[in-house]
Amino acid sequence: MFEAFGFAALHMVENPAVNIIRTRDVRTGLVVDLGEGHFSMTPVIEGRLFTHSKKSLHFGGAHLTQHLIELLQPQISFTTSYERLIIAPMIKSGTENVYTLPDGKKISVKDEREKLVECIFDTSLYNAIDFFNS
């Protein structure tokens, strides 16, 4: 089947961290993965994955969204799941500081977006295990 699509080879890996490092044409690095429900850091040294040094936390994008909602409470109240979808572009954009909501109201997110990063390193916000000291 792979020949039909012109693939020269297929290489399967257990952990994509090694491939991520290889795509950058380096052999050593730290792969940081922030998903919807998890956060992990995986060291790759000289092309080898050091799984015993990998650190994970059950903290992710959903927690960041919730924290941004809390930071924006003085400006606006987000109560429905649809309103939570409006938050995602605010988190991902690093250039826009003022957003216009569907109802026409404008809100500023510059300071809140900068404070948002702090909750990745202050795990007490979500009663998570401090994986930097474990």
pLDDT tens by residue, 98-132: 888 888 888 888 888 778 777 777 766 654 444 44
In a domain, 97, yes or no: yes
Q: Which domain holds residue 20?
A: 3-57
Residues 2-13 as b or e (16 or more Cβ within 10 Å = b): eeeeeeeeeeee
Burial class (CB in 10 A: 0-12, 13-18, 19+), 77: exposed
Give the mean pLDDT of the chain. Answer: 77
Among 27, 92, 104, which Cα is nearest to 64's?
92
In a domain, 14, yes or no: yes
pLDDT recorded at residue 59: 78
Among 36, 103, 113, 51, which Cα is nearest to 76's?
103
Give percent of the chain with pLDDT exceeding 70: 82
Residues in the chain: 134
Q: Are residues 40 and 94 in the same domain?
A: no
Among 81, 79, 99, which Cα is nearest to 89's?
99
The model's pTM:
0.61
Give percent of the chain with pLDDT exceeding 90: 0
Average pLDDT of span 29-48:
85
In a domain, 89, yes or no: yes
Higher pLDDT, 28 or 24: 28
DSSP code, position 26: -
Q: Report residue 10's pLDDT band, with 50, 70 and 90 as the boundaries.
A: low
Q: Are residues 100 and 49 in the same domain?
A: no
pLDDT recorded at residue 107: 85
Higher pLDDT, 9 or 103: 103
In a domain, 131, yes or no: no
In a domain, 134, yes or no: no
